[in-house]
Structure 1
Amino acid sequence: MKEVPAQTRSFLFVPTAIAMAVLLAACGSGSDGGDTNVSSSPSPKAQSASVSKITAGADAITDAITRGQNASAPSTKGSTPASYTARGVAPLISKDGIRGDVLLAMFDQKACRGEFGIHRVESLKGAPLSQDTAVKEDTPPVLTDASLNVEAYTYDMDKLHDGRYVPSRVPAYVYYCMYPDIRSYSNPVNPGDYTYSMTTAGRYHTYLTMFYYGVPWITRGVNEAKVDYPLTVTKDQVIIGAQVKLLLNEDLLYNWEYGESMKEGRKEETLLNGTARGYQRQALVPFGVLNQWQDAVGNNLRLLLIKGDKANEARLCTHLNSSLAKRLHCVTWQVPADWRWGKELKGGYHYLIEDRSVYAGETGFMYWD
């Protein structure tokens, strides 16, 4: 793998102090009553914190609000708040975090926006860009995916074909998103070893009919980043493994022209190392860093649990700092008040913030929501 200067790969990859504070405000301790003796805290100096949905300013991410900040360093052994210890079972979701079973459901359930990609916006609270806006959408559609490598759903295809137009080759998004009434979350994950993948990439062929190869308004690419997290599920725990696989593909298709061979950029595959961390399924999992990993040349990664805008919302996020992608990719889930293990969470919507400094001649951020 190509050596990259260490200073370009720090966890603090955002080029302004305020943006660094915002992105890393969520990177608090993973130690708490949900942590087992699988490992100690991934970052003894980390602070327990949570962060609202991150929004964008002109040059950086400036409008985030950190909440529940606790400046004291957490115990590496972990401790359960007295109120939770007395009851024996943590609440589903609170200002402090979520229950371990809820975290497992966030891994188990297929995240889906309802379409192949997510809309480019000037900020995470802005309107989607188009060729009619002052700032044109100059990147391809973005594919986002987050799922476990098992099929948790069954489908009633009679409902799908009941009076609805269905393409002859039905893409996966139809099953997962567009017609939720045909889907049933009927196979919640059983104990075993699994892989949870989060993917972001430029998408040049969508909806079976639309092609974006050679489209003149696409002038910038979106590199692919796929992260494979190992998970071990037991009756009492969910364990996030010690070694993560990272696949990176440089996107050069944005400058492809008809008649040319497909342009392929750099491809990198690496294993990032850390320490396995276990969380009790009935105990509190606090907002902050769930685990973190890095490799010998400085690619590094954090899996985050972030507080949502609403009291019943939580986000599962990949915070990646690598040679071909520096981005925050989050999936937002809502926890129904009557939720129990085996029932479905709501939402599963993606958002993405990308630091464009890894692309030649570019700076600043792009946002998809």
Structure 2
Amino acid sequence: MQTHFLRTPLTAIALGVLLAACGGGGSSDTTSNDSKAVLSSPGTSSVTGPASASSAPSGTNTESTAASTGVQTANASSTATATPKAGSVLSAKEVRGDLLASMLDSVPCPQDPSETSAVDGPAFPRADNTVSDSKVQFSLAPTNYTQNPDFNWPPNAILLTRPCKAFIYHPAGTGQYEMNVSSYAFSRTRPVKLDKGFNDFSIQLPVTISDSGLTIGREITMQTKRDLNPYPDAVQKTMTPERKDMNLTADTAFSFSLTSSTPLGGAVHEWKSGTDSVQLLLLPGQSNQAKVCWNVNTQLVKRLQCMVWQVPANWKRGQELESVDQYIVDDRSVYPNEQGMRYFRTAVQPD
């Protein structure tokens, strides 16, 4: 399978952050030298305000890291057909198709991220937040989940929040589906200091599942929208456009079989419309983990959004994966008078 360097849309800083979030992906002897150069641990970097270039892992030159790492993307005209290791669904370098299909038809839980000090850092105290609460969502329609009859819903449950044990996973059967990936501003119940926006995006991707594999169509749709509420009227009047709807296309559909393997470590497919683009990335995590990420590069939203999956020992298709974390790296250059990055995670709780 032919490959080429990822040229867009990540900036050098964001690329360094992306790789810093990759984790080891396995034991130290299987982690590439390029990945080692940008690994970070909780607490190695922190900010007291909006995240910036200085929030990259300590001692890492993100400009040179981006130039030397050589993150690669599958050629858009190619289908993932690399030979998997016998009996292995996941290695530090690749993920087998049956596992990738489960990573793409599974709904992560929870979906309420908190702002953090770094891409893998602890949550800010809620009193220090200046950005509104956010929500990340992923769904497949028609759903492949059934309600758990043994789950007792709490009386104050919020319907938009998906309790982890409320539904039972089943692999999506053969047929046509719509995948939705989104994140958006969610709540402003705390009236003070929430003076910075969190713009919305929503992507709809057609999915076909067969007995032998999965395909995401070459044409997708996307909506982006400005979060105007935190800003005074005088600032809102300068923020145009407020919403943008678009159709994005790739050279081909993204297809893989349940027995083939797809490389971990970068973008595997890209959809574009002019200067706007969406990339699907597959990244390694810590031991027995892998990540599905969406890299959005548009006029209103520039955001990396990742789901982290833990793979049980001796996993087989049909067995549920554990949702370890979802995280966001939000490029603040699309917001008025801001720059740098802000980070959000579901695996942490604010004070």
- Give structure 2 stretches of 5+ with no counterpart: 1-6, 23-33, 234-238, 346-351
Q: Structure 1 stretch 342-351 or stretch 217-226: which is displaced more?
A: 342-351
Calculate percent identity across the aligned residue pairs: 25
* Closer, same or farther: CA 340–348 of 1 in aligned 2, 3 Å: same
Asked if 2 retains the 8 angstrom alpha-carbon contact of 1:252 and 1:264, the reply is no
Aligned to 2:257: 280
Aligned to 1:148: 140
Q: Which of 313, 316, 336 is the matching residue for 2:292?
A: 316
Q: Secondary structure at the match of 2:230?
A: helix
TM-score (norm 2): 0.75
Residue 270 (structure 2) pairs with residue 292 (structure 1): yes
Aligned to 2:30: none
Aligned to 1:195: 178
Aligned to 2:27: none
Residue 101 (structure 2) pairs with residue 104 (structure 1): yes
Q: What amino acid is the match of 2:259? A: Q
Q: Which of 245, 248, 258 is the matching residue for 2:224?
A: 248
- CA deviations 1:180-201 (Å, max 9, x no partner) are 2x5322x321111212111111
Asked if 2 retains the 8 angstrom alpha-carbon contact of 1:12 and 1:20, the reply is no
Displacement of 1:170 after TM fit?
Answer: 5.0
Asked if 2 retains the 8 angstrom alpha-carbon contact of 1:121 and 1:368, the reply is yes
Aligned to 2:112: 117
Residue 125 (structure 2) pairs with residue 130 (structure 1): yes
Q: Which of 74, 92, 95 is the matching residue for 1:95?
A: 92
Residue 349 (structure 2) pairs with residue 361 (structure 1): no
Q: Secondary structure at the match of 1:203?
A: strand
Q: Which of 279, 291, 307 is the matching residue for 1:302?
A: 279
Displacement of 1:294 after TM fit?
Answer: 0.8
| Cα RMSD after superposing both structures | 3.4
Q: What amino acid is the match of 1:128? A: A
Q: What amino acid is the match of 1:129? A: F
Q: Which of 161, 164, 168 is the matching residue for 1:173?
A: 161
Q: Secondary structure at the match of 1:196?
A: strand
* Closer, same or farther: CA 54–264 of 1 in aligned 2, 3 Å: farther
Displacement of 1:101 after TM fit?
Answer: 1.0
Asked if 1 retains the 8 angstrom alpha-carbon contact of 2:225 and 2:243, the reply is yes
Displacement of 1:21 after TM fit?
Answer: 4.9
CA distance in 2, matches of 1:18, 1:307: 19
Aligned to 1:220: 196
- CA deviations 1:69-110 (Å, max 9, x no partner) are 7899988767866674xx5xx621111211111111111111
Asked if 1 retains the 8 angstrom alpha-carbon contact of 2:19 and 2:35, the reply is no
Rg larger in structure: 1
- Give structure 1 stretches of 5+ with no counterpart: 1-9, 28-48, 206-210, 258-262
Q: Secondary structure at the match of 1:255?
A: coil
TM-score (norm 1): 0.72
CA distance in 2, matches of 1:73, 1:355: 21
Q: Which of 48, 62, 68 is the matching residue for 2:56?
A: 62
Q: Which of 295, 319, 325 is the matching residue for 1:343?
A: 319
